[in-house]
A and B are shown apart, each in its own frame.
Chain A
Amino acid sequence: AQTVTQSQPEMSVQEAETVTLSCTYDTSESDYYLFWYKQPPSRQMILVIRQEAYKQQNATENRFSVNFQKAAKSFSLKISDSQLGDAAMYFCAYRSYQGGSEKLVFGKGTKLTVNP
């Protein structure tokens, strides 16, 4: 079964600095999608970034970028120029659909604190 592991329950970063959140996953599938979601104190779940496994190029959305290492099954999120509004819980998610079977797995989350 697919699993998603976020090994850092909590992280902190100084405002304007860069931080990287780790995510590893376990799968035998070759075609899948990976996502990072942000949950601020308002408890909304906000899609931050997505990565298709067949794409070698790492996804980027403004200050957010990923380091996708397919062979290592690693999908880390880098936040550059951290802002106070980046403080949130971040969830990594794996999704695939093969042979009529859908798999959708979330990690347990990493709580990011941004210090002024």
Chain B
Amino acid sequence: DSGVTQTPKHLITATGQRVTLRCSPRSGDLSVYWYQQSLDQGLQFLIHYYNGEERAKGNILERFSAQQFPDLHSELNLSSLELGDSALYFCASSVGPNSPLHFGNGTRLTVT
């Protein structure tokens, strides 16, 4: 168990809808990262937050947004969903910039 909690585990929704994915980092970890992994693909970096502030953006669509709250949990909001947004979304946390990332079990999003 990595200590990173992601909810929900599975999400099935229709095109055009909006969903929110939630991540609770490991206790003491200030950094939260979001990654997208499509079927048989590598990890696509979406966004990084550190102690509530956005630190870096990757290939994140304008339809996607995220935030990190004062209690350090983070939410990834996906709107106007398209079939191509179906993927496994990972959250990872880290205590510092030179520490390993610890990944949650992911949220599997299916858009029908």
Question: Do the beta carbons of A45 and B42 come within 8 Å of each other?
Answer: no
Summed over the interface, the residue pairs from A and B with CB atoms below 8 Å come to a total of 48
Q: Is B57 among interface residues, defined by CB-CB distance under 8 A?
A: no
Question: Do the beta carbons of B92 and A45 come within 8 Å of each other?
Answer: yes
CB within 8 Å of A: which B2-38 residues: 2, 33, 37
Q: B residues within 8 A CB of A93?
A: 101
Roughly how many angstroms separate A37 CA and B35 CA in the complex, as a whole number? Answer: 14
* In the complex, residue of chain A having the shortest beta-carbon distance to the beta carbon of B43: A106
Roughly how many angstroms separate A47 CA and B93 CA in the complex, as a whole number? Answer: 12
> In the complex where A102-B55, A106-B43, A107-B42 touch, is A44 in contact with B101 (Cβ < 8 A)?
no
> In the complex where A91-B42, A102-B48, A106-B43 touch, is A44 in contact with B103 (Cβ < 8 A)?
yes
**B34 → chain A, closest Cβ, in Å?**
12
Size bracket of the B interface:
20 to 34
Is chain A's binding surface mostly helix, strand, loop or mixed? Answer: strand
Question: Do the beta carbons of B43 and A91 come within 8 Å of each other?
Answer: yes
**B24 → chain A, closest Cβ, in Å?**
16
Q: B residues within 8 A CB of A109?
A: 42
> In the complex where A44-B103, A45-B103 touch, is A102 in contact with B97 (Cβ < 8 A)?
yes
Size bracket of the A interface:
20 to 34
Q: B residues within 8 A CB of A106?
A: 42-43, 45
Q: Could you mark each residue 68-98 of chain B with 1 if its beta carbon is under 8 Å from any beta carbon of chain A, else 0? A: 0000000000000000000010101000111
B positions within 8 Å CB-CB of A:
2, 33, 37, 42-43, 45, 48, 55-56, 88, 90, 92, 96-98, 100-103, 105-106, 108
A positions within 8 Å CB-CB of B:
33, 35, 37, 43-47, 50, 91, 93, 95-97, 102, 104, 106-109
Please list the 8 inter-chain residue pairs (A to B) with the smallest Cβ-Cβ separation, ordered nearest first.
Answer: A97-B97, A45-B103, A108-B42, A102-B97, A106-B43, A47-B100, A109-B42, A33-B98
Question: 16 A-B pairs, CB-CB below 8 angstroms?
Answer: A33-B98, A43-B105, A43-B106, A44-B105, A45-B92, A45-B106, A47-B100, A47-B102, A95-B97, A95-B101, A96-B98, A102-B48, A102-B55, A102-B97, A104-B48, A108-B42
